[in-house]
Amino acid sequence: MASLLRLYNTLSRAKEPLRPIDSRRVRMYACGPTVYDAAHIGNARPLIVFDLLFRLLRHVYGAEAVTYARNVTDVDDKINARAAERGITIRELTDGTLAQFHDDIRRLGILMPEDVNGAGRPPAMIEPRATDHIVEMTALIDRLVAAGHAYVAEDHVLFDVPSMPDYGALSRRPLDEMEAGARVDVAPYKRSPLDFVLWKPSKPGEPSWASPGGIKIAGRPGWHIECSAMAWKHLGETFDIHAGGIDLVFPHHENEVAQSRCCFGTPVMANIWLHNGFLQVEGEKMSKSLGNFVTLRDVLADWPGEVVRLAMLRTHYRQPIDWTLRALEEASRTLDRWYDAAGDVAPGPAPDSVLEPLLDDLNTPAALGEVHRLDDPAALKAGAGLLGLLGQTRSERERAAVAASGVDAAAVERLIAERKEARTRKDWAESDRIRGALTALGVTVKDNKDGTTTWTVGS
């Protein structure tokens, strides 16, 4: 089954079977958040897609045979500017933003290190922070300088792009197009317009560390070097899958490839490069100026995380997605039907009918179609569970909704018991009065065919 997993490789522009470099361990890296502000709904898409891939890899290869690193960028120009704006330290900003990020993505059903890592075993998931890997970054930079792939100029270290003959193989951009973009702001100390910063001097008040390359003054890393360093530390010189948004192909991922390959003398950094498509809001690019910029926290204030997750997965990850209110409403209705059908049964084995489309480049629309066709509650629970959906039993979901609503669950149960007594004695007026009281509390009552009564908060 493992050999059947095929993924679209941006490097080759084709679907390829995943053939792990080490047959005992599949290694995956994904570019995570830059923690200077609240995550927006577009940030949620790669998190959900690559969480699904992580779950699928664990299902296919075994939970202890997969290592997933998802980094956190906590040193960056935007971080410096935002901390100065708020009058707080950079660490206060990044710690607070990261805590909010974690709270948000947990509600999306995203697996976290504490969910999968066991005591006494190698970690299955790592969330490395850039500032904890400065030693690795400076080591890489010194190696690149020694190998003639980087140079020191005016207290900066720059990567020498012309020293890598096949630079651009990932993004496949024409050289003149790349040079035209690079010439917008060319520093005089660059040998080539395409050369990019590996290290730069820190300004007063900015974080700083001892510089590589023999530079006397303290400085800080450029953006691209951090991912090469963290991937190297946790996954090795080469690994199986590197994932991220399509907007990162150039320059970020292209520059990662250049740094890592030239440092280690390897033909690839990662065998497969996986990229998710863009997200639009109601048919338009998300933009603060258009007034359609939506934070993940705002969405989660109105919709359960599993609804957001399902709405995302209805579109294939490589296709653009149009984020609409209608998609959320349809996802919510679908989940309600599934919870009703699955009840509180334990999940069975994941059905092959759901697994097979996921093995074909994470074809979630087809997999969801197969989940819709399942009529066995245990299979339905397992099929949806493979996608990270129906993580709770119906009763757990209802209790969570009640807790979030502030409704007094004990009072509701008393009213339902009183209504049941009224119906037993055929006092329909009293039964209707109690239903009206429950409706006023925001509670919807459902009388089931088996004689039980269930209730939910909201319609």
pLDDT in tens, 63-93: 999 999 999 999 999 999 999 999 999 999 9
The pLDDT tens digits of the residues spanning 326-361 come to: 999 999 999 999 999 998 888 999 999 999 999 999
Query: What are 287's two structure tokens?
Result: 């933009």
CA distance 4 to 359: 7
pLDDT at residue 187, rounded to an integer: 85
Chain centre to alpha carbon of residue 337: 26
Non-local (6+) Cβ contacts of 91 within 8 A are: none
pLDDT at residue 149, rounded to an integer: 98
Residue spans of the chain under pLDDT 50: 1-2, 183
pLDDT at residue 136, rounded to an integer: 98
End-to-end CA distance of the chain: 43
Do 68 and 55 touch, CB atoms closer than 8 A?
Answer: no
**pTM for this model (two decimals):** 0.86
The DSSP secondary-structure symbol of 199 reads E
pLDDT at residue 181, rounded to an integer: 54
Do 161 and 194 touch, CB atoms closer than 8 A?
Answer: yes
